[in-house]
């Protein structure tokens, strides 16, 4: 079951909806104001599920311990 992100046009809140199928024509309602006016957002992947490099149990990526020098709190891929 796919999860889609939406933004309400009426109240500007952002929310997720779990659909029964990716081809579903289900009507989406804002949980904040009950409006049916919304916009489907493009979702981004979480770094925890990315297909980036794999590290062994004793290895730590440079950005996790601050040694990469990006000064971005371990988020150097988001600069």
Q: Is 20 a member of any domain?
A: yes
CA pair distance 59, 78, nearest whole angstrom: 21
CA pair distance 59, 1, nearest whole angstrom: 34
Q: Is 24 a member of any domain?
A: yes
Instruction: Tally Cβ neighbours within 10 Å of residue 30.
Output: 21
What pLDDT, in 10s, does the model give residues 8-56?
999 999 999 988 776 657 789 999 999 999 999 986 665 555 455 555 5
Domain membership of residue 31 as a residue range: 1-45
pTM of the model: 0.50
What pLDDT, in 10s, does the model give residues 11-20?
999 999 988 7
Give the angle subtended at the CA of 26 by the CAs of 21 and 32, to the nearest 5°. 115
Q: Is 79 a member of any domain?
A: no
Q: Read off the CATH number of the domain in which 3 is found.
A: 2.20.28
Q: What is the count of structural domains for the chain?
A: 1
């Amino acid at each position: 079951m796919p999860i889609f992100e939406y933004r309400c046009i009426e109240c500007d809140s952002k929310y997720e909806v779990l659909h029964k199928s990716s081809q579903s024509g289900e009507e989406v309602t804002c949980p904040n104001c009950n409006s049916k006016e919304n916009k489907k957002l493009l979702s981004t992947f979480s770094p925890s599920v990315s297909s980036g490099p794999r590290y062994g149990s004793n290895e730590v990526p440079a950005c996790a311990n601050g040694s990469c020098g990006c000064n971005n709190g371990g988020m150097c891929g988001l600069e």
